[in-house]
Chain A
Amino acid sequence: GQSLEQPSEVTAVEGAIVQINCTYQTSGFYGLSWYQQHDGGAPTFLSYNALDGLEETGRFSSFLSRSDSYGYLLLQELQMKDSASYFCAVRYNFNKFYFGSGTKLNVKP
């Protein structure tokens, strides 16, 4: 089966940097995705890592270490609008995705 662990809640102040960790166990691993979901909204794709290393997209970066079954999402220059839930999801067996329970990020002024 698949399992994912990520913190349930993180709080940070506006302008700060926050890192959301994700550890996983799965067979047939292809990659790790990150999604953002605001309350009442649909999940929105943020990033995907198939290979080890850091991927940067604007204020957001994502990292993967396949040997450690570990990844993280780094959010820089936090803004109030970044308050949302963030899900890591493993892509396995090529076409299937298993989502974690999500990390609720609270950004305070």
Chain B
Amino acid sequence: DTGVSQDPRHKITKRGQNVTFRCDPISEHNRLYWYRQTLGQGPEFLTYFQNEAQLEKSRLLSDRFSAERPKGSFSTLEIQRTEQGDSAMYLCASSLAGGEETQYFGPGTRLLVL
């Protein structure tokens, strides 16, 4: 069990550029969540998948954000036309169906938009 991994760990980009982050959940976990966390705040729900199906997306998420989980394994989160307000830590978490209360978080990707 290698835990949840995320790549890259850090990303610096210029406003207007597109960025993509990857999350590899714990192998047997079929639920995968994306969160955003800013300094001094708790994780904010963005979206979640059960296997390859994206079941819910936060109303706070603009159309610039898209997530995929092909084949129900790893997931990607893409932000198009980045804005300075997108600067945050992007966290991925996974859990087992039937054990949703226990989420295992990855180390996160810290995004800085200049």
Q: Which residues of A contact B (CB under 8 A)?
A: 31, 33, 35, 41-45, 48, 50, 87, 89, 91, 94-102
Instruction: With a 10 A CB-CB cut-off, give which of B4, B31, B41, B42 has the most chain A CB atoms.
Output: B42
- Within 8 Å by CB of A95, from B41, B93, B100, lies B100
Q: Is the CB of B45 within 8 A of A97?
A: yes
CA distance A87 to B35 in the complex (A): 14
Using a CB–CB cutoff of 8 Å, the interface residues on chain B facing chain A are 4, 31, 33, 35, 40-45, 48, 50, 55-56, 91, 93, 100-108
Decide yes or no: A44 and B105 within 8 Å by CB, A94-B100, A95-B48, A95-B55 being known contacts. yes
Give Cα A12 to B44, complex, Å. Answer: 28
Most chain A CB within a 10 A radius of its CB, from B31, B41, B50: B41
Inter-chain residue pair count (beta carbon < 8 A): 55
Q: How far is the CB of B72 from chain A (nearest CB, A)?
A: 16
Instruction: Tell me which of B31, B43, B101 contacts A43 (CB under 8 A).
Output: B43
Tell me the minimal C-beta distance from B42 to chain A in angstroms.
3
How far is the CB of A58 from the nearest CB of chain B, in Å? 16
B103 to chain A, nearest CB (A): 6
Residues in A neighbouring B103, C-beta threshold 8 A:
33, 43, 45, 97
Residue pair B56, A102 in contact (C-beta under 8 Å): no
A42-B91, A42-B105, A42-B107 known; A95+B42 contact, CB < 8 A: no
Chain B contacts for A31, CB-based, 8 A: 101
Establish whether residues B42 and A96, one from each chain, have CB atoms under 8 Å apart when the complex forms: no
A102-B100 CB under 8 A given contacts A42-B91, A44-B105? no
Q: What are 15 inter-chain pairs, A to B, with CB distance below 8 A?
A: A33-B101, A42-B91, A42-B105, A42-B106, A42-B107, A43-B43, A45-B102, A45-B104, A89-B43, A91-B100, A95-B100, A98-B45, A99-B45, A102-B40, A102-B42
